[in-house]
Amino acid sequence: MSVNYIPAVFEVLRDTDRCIKCRACERQCANEVHYFDEDFDKMQVIEAQCVDCQRCVTICPTSALKIRKNQNEFREGANYPQKLIIENYLQAQTGAVLLSSMGNPVDLPVYWDKILINASQVTNPSIDPLREPMETKVYLGKKSLDIKRGDDGEIIPDTEYPQLELDVPIMFSAMSYGSISYNAHESLARAATQLGTFYNTGEGGLHKDFYKYGPNTIVQVASGRFGVSKQYLDQGAAIEIKMGQGAKPGIGGHLPGKKVNADVSQTRMIPMGTDAISPAPHHDIYSIEDLRQLIFSLKEATEYKKPVMVKIAAVHNVAAIASGIARSGADILVLDGFRGGTGAAPTRIRDNVGIPIELALAAVDQRLRDEHIRNEVSVVVAGSVRSSADCVKAFALGADACYIGTAALLAIGCHLCRSCHGAKCNWGIATQRADLVRRLNPDFAYKRLVNLVHAWDHEIKEMMGGMGINSIESLKGNRLMLRGVGLNDRELEILGIKHAGE
Amino acid sequence: MQKKEGEIRIPSGCAITGFISRNGNRISGGDAIKSIEVMHDRSNGLGGGFAGYGIYPEYKDQYAFHIFYESSEAKDYTEKYLDRHFDIINLSKIPTKQVKEITKEPLIWRYFVNPLPTRVAASQLDEEEYVAQCVLKINKDHKDSFVFSSGKNMGVFKAVGFPEDVGRFYRLDEYAGYSWTVHGRYPTNTPGWWGGAHPFALLDYSIVHNGEISSYDANRRFIEMFGYQCTLQTDTEVITYIIDFLNRKKKLTLSEIAEVIAAPFWTTIERREPKECERLKYLRNVFAGMLITGPFSIILGYKGGLMALNDRLKLRSMVVGEKDDMFYIASEECAIRAICKDAEDIRAPRGGEAVIAELNEEGRRKCL
Amino acid sequence: MKRVYVNEERCLGCHLCEYWCAYANSGEKDIMTAFKLGKDATPRINVEDDGDVHFAVQCRHCDDTPCVKACITGALSCNDGVVEINRDKCVGCYTCVLTCPYGCIVIDKKNGGKTVTKCELCTDNSNGEPVCVRECINGAIVFEER
Amino acid sequence: MNYVIIGNSAAAIGAIEGIRAYDKDGSVTLISDEKYFTYSRPLISYWLKNSVTDENMKYRDPDFYEKNNVTTMLGETVTAISANEKTVTTASGKTIAFDKLLCATGSKPFVPKTEGYEKVKNVFTFMKFDDAKAIKEVLTADSKVLIVGAGLIGLKAAEAVHEYTENITVIDLADRILSSILDEDAAKIMQTHISDKGVTFKLGTSVKVFSENSAELQNGETVDFDILIMAVGVRPNTELVSAAGGKVNRGIITDKTQLVDGLKDIYAAGDCTESIDITTGDSKILALLPNAFLQGEVAGKNMAGNLCYYVNAIPMNAIGFFGLHIITAGSYTGDTYVVTDGENYKKLITKDDKLVGFILMGDVDRAGIYTSLIKEHIALSECNFDLLKDKPLMAAFSKIRRNKKLAESH
């Protein structure tokens, strides 16, 4: 039926004067957009299958390809934009929930971009990070200020609670083996090891090959409990309980059976080919006291040697929830904002549920200070930390460290086509297809991750130096270093910052 | 309207000086004036102040409160509060003399008080904490009242003006103490509120500080979790509170405090022998929120001693020197030479190196 | 000696190395010219595909040089470990094709098979480094000592 | 050490390179009855058809002898070897002493006795540079050329002569051309290909009697010619070794180090020797340039005191006529797999889970992979033979073997 016709989202433009018919585009497109037409002796395209992953564009040896938005336009209308109309067509056709991946692309305020950073002039010298030491090492974990002294009067340097030492204040956020590929995991693990930071297994367990990166691994325990065993918990440097995810607060996860190959099945400890369903809640956590029990179960299981992190999605009453978690024995609290990525989420949830991480962080940090328990828990933010500037702003708002997910994937080749749920990632990241996974070369990818984080770390140091700060501790929660632009009083009040010019 | 200290953060440059007689000889405040006067250009007439230790031997067991009142209503209100919480042993206007450079003075009163034992007991706090909380309460909640000195056998004197004029205004040549610290202020703007001048003091701790710390808000928001209210938004205030917290509450020694607030760099720590390395790592980690970065040189005055400390990059000048039992600390050498021509062993302490000078055995016997 | 090796775990079978190789050795001004206007530059590297297995093969520059020893004209020679061909001397008898155990002597179809050609590690063009290595999009081809 | 080499072709050059790989100092003397700088015998047909210059006839760079410090005695014919005295004697009466001697004397054309042969004026063989030069002297566009022998030499000669005249007749006693390397089907394709160029074949017959400008064939036909090229076959030059006491069957018999059986310090290599065909186990003359070179190289290395063996010999040929190429190797007895597609012909011969031989015509790309399967005795069950049937691919090897071949240094 013609009403079923869904216009292609993209147009694939090929400059035939440039095309040498090498067919690399054809070979490299898992969506089978390109094909060679023997009759016409030229390359042809099936545009409807294009997701604009840019793979063909980047590898074309003659730069003959361009992808652009389909110029075919419905009649304009701000209330019913073309995308929404088409989504309704699709749903009318299929009766299905719309699926999307990666972070919320909707044009909602990005507060990072409305916050500006201070620099020293005259009264206080800026510091040149190339000349003076500039420190970004961070320790995460609950801090006890109870000083214990030995009989000789000397301080006993016992932090009482386990700490995570980060050489750089950036970690790689949870992305499960299953949602991303073996090679992607290897890249993250190796990069974290080289950087002296941590990557996170996500909820898919830990492949035995990666046990060797354990000292730089955070193992996640999510509602599906996939791959969780004593051995698994023992591998990690820390354990993260995933209560929620910024991209899809309030719902669980679903890894389709076709992604559960032999390796994934073994790692997740589920039968091959079966769907891996993470329930929306943990069915042993229906309230805060249940969480406390899980936290202490995990601590018992690991002899109180590993910090336990609790990750929640940034939702409306996040500050109160955070306070509850800080009082429940968690060592580290992770806040995941509504622009955080995902391998697959219902579109409507991704685009409409949750709150911006900037506001959540500001509210949580202030609440914990108001309740004098900020020292009880470290705060890590995730959910679209896109640059070193975002990191600096996050630290100044009160974060101890940042998690990066999407930015890390960009470093290893992701072009943000937001088609992870299709499982045919042309960059070898969000796929389990062996031929596609191979496209991600961990030898390159881990170096690119290291480069990215080093570059950010340099920039963080530059900005700190500009502020006259030479250690990241002095940036943490230092909101005087921030000013808002174009924000209303309410927003400024929540962020705890003044407006530019004040 | 121009905002005063506490409503806005005002960056300043400064001059500081201080000295102590380790034998406990009581030195006239006139020497303190002489010392700061030569650094006239380091101030701009918008604040100066002094802290003298051992100046009230006759009331050495009472807390000496120095209070500014902007109005007599404020005075009445605060005095009622004091009455409820303290046994006021003595009260008087602080003697001043007219100096043409010093104008717009508030009401300046001094009280020697003992906390009411029943109230202390009821508060479940130790006596010092009780006193400190009362002081903080007044400064936060009592409009137009400001307690600017609250220690025992010590006193802070400060005003808007050049420090040498402030010293003459308060007739400091009539006081004698075993140690003095002085501050000349160079704020970039201030409406000229007397409370905003330095030193800043809480109980026996007083701080004179030259610098503008970059970590201010990080430090402020951290220390405020422990019952302090940074009402002035000045570096001196937050540094004082941090030192009060670490020394009085957490019982860290002064050199340990230096290792927290001007902590060695991680690379330096890594090079220390393992036990020391662990200790320093521990202090930096646990008290991360109290690391102070950005330029500062401070003289901490406390009961029986002085500590000089620079930020870890030494972004502000500070020298020390000595002669016989005297120990001198100043922003510039001239300030030492002005009162001790033949001072010896003048040197610039390294960034983060705490220099401590305290009363010796004899001095303690005489003064404490 | 440094040689070109292919890691078949990394090779994607995109065949781009063939095109870059052909272009690099074509002497044409750009890659398009090398394949257009009826020109069909000949690669010296060859990507094999067998299902999911892909790998590029080109002259191994082996130590025992069976091709050099078999060459009836002396067109093939081994200099400092690089097996080189003097195309002026080659008569296209293909004895080297017969003896190369890797199938890496390439019949130059561009000149009607009148001569053979082969990888010379880009020592005979302006690249200065093996262009297949440089252009491999997945780092599958490496130039290293083993 | 004093090395003497008789001969100046592939085996001799191989020997020089073999010696010099281990002995930079010993004296090397090379004696050849031809006056030329070492040249490539197979190139004479290319020279004749003007596709190779005089300069490019050289088998090695012009400074080869100097660089390898070789004393040459060109145009000097060795008449005797004294195994006891360790000397060789030349026609000009010189006596040259050796510590190690290599006999790389090659072969000579075989001309069968035919009635009236002596009446033919323009008769040539086609082995040496001088042969080609002599033919070129008399060849014109009007020449009528008769070639006796439709083997490799005869047809290469035909191809070269075709550059001048299309009036060419090739006769052979066998009923097909190239009978030593091709099966019937392949021979048929090639014959058609060559016939299409205007060459006339008379097969399954021979010359009964020659007159000056014509030949009467056994089948009764008469062929007129003004140039006769005899390319019936070759015979190894074994006389010197034989006279010195070395063992000779059809060719000189050597051990695996190329040391002549029955002699000390005297080696032999090249077309004058026999070697073991590993595909059949038979000792035979493998008159091929690569074979000659490798034998010479092995001989040279052993002469220089470095023990090594020549063991992997197989018959093999790469040759083309009028643009149609043939690559063959090994033996042809066994199970066969054949694909014919126009002029493209492929025959794979397998036996006991091994590839023992192949014939490729037309598309001969990467034939060496097949050769390696034969030479390396690789079990087909270990490979993907279906893939190999389609075309020679490294992908057909097991991953382990492939990695050994491609990922390790060789």
The full set of domains in chain A, from first to last, is 2-96 (3.30.70.20), 138-142+165-475 (3.20.20.70)
Question: Are B29 and B52 spatial neighbours (Cβ–Cβ below 8 Å)?
Answer: yes
Query: Per residue in A365-379, pLDDT tens?
Result: 999 999 999 999 999
Question: Are B319 and B18 spatial neighbours (Cβ–Cβ below 8 Å)?
Answer: no
How is residue B22 annotated by DSSP?
A: T
Q: How far apart are CA B162 and CA B171, in angstroms?
A: 14
Q: Is the per-residue pLDDT at B231 higher than 90?
A: no
Burial class (CB in 10 A: 0-12, 13-18, 19+), C125: middle
Please indicate, yes or no, if residue B1 is contained in any of the structural domains: no
Helix (H, G, I), strand (E, B) or coil at D201: strand
| Alpha-carbon gap: A20 to the closest alpha carbon of chain B (Å) | 56
Which member of C93, C102, C146 has the closest CB to residue D318? Answer: C93
Specify whether D385 is located in the same domain as D329: yes
Measured CA distances, A72 to A4, A79, A194, A363, B276 (Å): 16, 19, 48, 44, 70
Cross-chain residue pair A474–B215, CB shorter than 8 Å: yes
Q: How high is the pLDDT of residue B189? A: 67
Question: Are D28 and D71 spatial neighbours (Cβ–Cβ below 8 Å)?
Answer: yes
Q: Is the per-residue pLDDT at D86 higher than 90?
A: yes
Measured CA distances, A109 to A100, A500, B225, D156 (Å): 20, 18, 31, 82
In chain B, the number of structural domains is 1
Q: How far apart are CA A40 and CA A49, in angstroms?
A: 21
Range of the domain at D327: 323-406
Kind of pairing, strands A482-484 and A378-382? unpaired
Half-sphere CA count of A310, side-chain side, radius 13 A: 30
Cross-chain residue pair C66–D290, CB shorter than 8 Å: yes
Question: Are B106 and B68 spatial neighbours (Cβ–Cβ below 8 Å)?
Answer: yes
Cross-chain residue pair D407–C146, CB shorter than 8 Å: yes
Which two tokens mark B212? 């503008």
Helix (H, G, I), strand (E, B) or coil at D106: coil
Burial class (CB in 10 A: 0-12, 13-18, 19+), A457: buried
Q: How high is the pLDDT of residue A124? A: 86
Which member of A17, A62, A439 has the closest CB to residue C31? Answer: A62
Instruction: Label residues B70-98 b or e (16+ Cβ within 10 Å = b).
Output: beeebbebbbebbeebbeeeeeeebebee
**CA triplet D389, D390, D392: central angle to 5 degrees?**
80
Residue D374 dihedral angles phi and psi, to the nearest 5°: -70, -50
Amino acid sitting at position B54: G
Instruction: Label residues D365-398 b or e (16+ Cβ within 10 Å = b).
Output: bbbbbbbbbbbeebebeebbbebbeebbbbbbbe
C7 and chain D in contact, CB less than 8 A: yes
Question: Are A278 and A222 spatial neighbours (Cβ–Cβ below 8 Å)?
Answer: yes
Q: Which residue has the tokens 């992979």?
A: D369
- Closest by Cα among A172, A141, A487 to A304: A141
**Complete DSSP assignment for A97-156:** --EE-SS--S----GGGGEEE----SSS----TTTS--B--EEES-------B-TTS-B-
Q: How far apart are CA B342 and CA A111, in angstroms?
A: 60
Which residue of chain D comes nearest to C58, CA vs CA?
A: D406
Specify whether D131 is located in the same domain as D226: yes
B187 and chain A in contact, CB less than 8 A: no
Q: Which residue has the tokens 């992997």?
A: D312
Which two tokens mark A69? 């938005």
Please indicate, yes or no, if residue D312 is contained in any of the structural domains: no
Please indicate, yes or no, if residue B260 is contained in any of the structural domains: yes
Q: In CATH, what number does C63-118 get?
A: 3.30.70.20
Specify whether D214 is located in the same domain as D120: yes
Give the A:C interface size as CB pairs under 8 Å: 53
- Closest by Cα among D249, D240, D367 to D314: D367
CATH class as words, domain C1-58+128-146: alpha beta
Q: Is the per-residue pLDDT at D56 higher than 70?
A: yes
Specify whether D245 is located in the same domain as D209: no
Query: Per residue in C75-131, pLDDT tens?
Result: 999 999 999 999 999 999 999 999 999 999 999 988 888 999 999 999 988 888 899
**Complete DSSP assignment for A185-221:** HHHHHHHHHHHT--EE-GGG---GGGGGGGGGEEEEE
Specify whether D293 is located in the same domain as D183: no
Last residue of a domain, one of D218, D233, D248: D233
Q: How high is the pLDDT of residue A258? A: 79
Specify whether D190 is located in the same domain as D273: no
CATH number at residue B87: 3.60.20.10
Q: Is the per-residue pLDDT at B1 higher than 60?
A: no
Q: Which residue has the tokens 């308060």?
A: B170
Cross-chain residue pair C12–A23, CB shorter than 8 Å: no
Q: How high is the pLDDT of residue C112? A: 86
**CA triplet D279, C102, D187: central angle to 5 degrees?**
50
Q: How far apart are CA A82 and CA A388, in angstroms?
A: 35
Instruction: State if pTM tops 0.95.
Output: no
| Alpha-carbon gap: A441 to the closest alpha carbon of chain C (Å) | 6
B269 and chain A in contact, CB less than 8 A: no
Whether C and D touch, i.e. at least 3 CB pairs below 8 A, reads as yes
Query: Per residue in B319-344, pLDDT tens?
Result: 999 999 999 999 999 999 999 999 99
Q: How high is the pLDDT of residue D296? A: 97
Q: Is the per-residue pLDDT at B13 higher than 90?
A: no
Domain pair C1-58+128-146 / C63-118, same fold = yes
Number of H helices, E strands in chain D: 11, 25
Please indicate, yes or no, if residue D388 is contained in any of the structural domains: yes
Which member of D61, D325, D369 has the closest CB to residue C101? Answer: D369
The arithmetic mean of pLDDT across residues B203-223, rounded, is 94
Burial class (CB in 10 A: 0-12, 13-18, 19+), B272: middle
- Closest by Cα among A308, A288, A286 to A296: A308
Measured CA distances, A19 to A24, C35, D222 (Å): 11, 9, 61
Question: Are A475 and A134 spatial neighbours (Cβ–Cβ below 8 Å)?
Answer: no
Q: How high is the pLDDT of residue A3? A: 79
Q: Is the per-residue pLDDT at B5 higher than 80?
A: no
Percent of chain A with pLDDT over 90: 93
Mean pLDDT of chain A: 95
For residue A28, list chain C residues with Cβ-Cβ distance below 8 A.
12, 14
Please indicate, yes or no, if residue B57 is contained in any of the structural domains: yes
For residue A439, list chain C residues with Cβ-Cβ distance below 8 A.
12, 138
Last residue of a domain, one of D303, D331, D353: D303
Which two tokens mark A483? 């000013």
ipTM (interface predicted TM): 0.86
Q: Where are the beta strands (DSSP E) in D278-353?
A: 282-284, 316-321, 324-330, 335-341, 344-351
How is residue C36 annotated by DSSP?
A: S
Q: Which residue has the tokens 């869904």?
A: A6
- Closest by Cα among A476, A399, A501 to B215: A476
Range of the domain at B139: 12-363
The arithmetic mean of pLDDT across residues D92-99, rounded, is 95
| Alpha-carbon gap: D195 to the closest alpha carbon of chain C (Å) | 21
Query: Is the preceding omega at residue A215 within 30 degrees of 0, hence cis?
Result: no
Kind of pairing, strands A482-484 and A498-499? parallel
Residues of C with CB under 8 A from a CB of A: 9-16, 18-20, 23, 31-32, 34-36, 52, 135, 137-140
Q: How high is the pLDDT of residue A85? A: 93
Under 8 Å CB-to-CB from A336, ≥6 apart: which residues?
A173, A244, A245, A246, A247, A311, A312, A313, A314, A357, A381, A382, A383, A403
Question: Are D298 and D269 spatial neighbours (Cβ–Cβ below 8 Å)?
Answer: yes
- Closest by Cα among A185, A166, A175, A60 to A445: A185
Q: How confident is the model at residue B4 (pLDDT cuts 50, 70, 90)?
A: confident
Measured CA distances, B24 to B43, B54, B172, B367, D329 (Å): 30, 9, 18, 6, 111
Last residue of a domain, one of D183, D211, D233: D233
Question: D213-216: long-range contacts at Cβ-Cβ below 8 A with a sequence spacing of 24 or more?
Answer: D213/D120, D215/D146, D215/D171
- Closest by Cα among A174, A225, A134 to A461: A134
B340 labelled catalytic: no
Q: How high is the pLDDT of residue B7? A: 77
> Could you tell me if residue D366 is left (phi over 0), alpha (psi between -120 and 50 degrees) or otherwise beta?
left
pLDDT < 70: residue spans in chain A: 1
Helix (H) or strand (E) holding D54: none
Q: How high is the pLDDT of residue D153? A: 95
Amino acid sitting at position D161: V
Percent of chain B with pLDDT over 90: 87
Which member of A157, A375, A474 has the closest CB to residue B278? Answer: A157
Residue A23 dihedral angles phi and psi, to the nearest 5°: 70, 15
- Closest by Cα among A404, A405, A380 to A394: A380
Helix (H) or strand (E) holding D355: strand D354-361
Helix (H) or strand (E) holding B363: helix B361-367
Query: Per residue in C20-78, pLDDT tens?
Result: 999 999 989 999 999 988 788 899 999 999 999 999 999 999 999 999 999 999 999 99
In chain D, the number of structural domains is 3
Sign of CA dihedral B253, B255, B258, B264: negative
Q: How high is the pLDDT of residue C110? A: 82
Q: Can you give the residue ranges of every domain in chain C?
A: 1-58+128-146, 63-118
Specify whether D402 is located in the same domain as D349: yes
- Closest by Cα among D234, D17, D200, D245 to D125: D234
Which two tokens mark C79? 């200099």
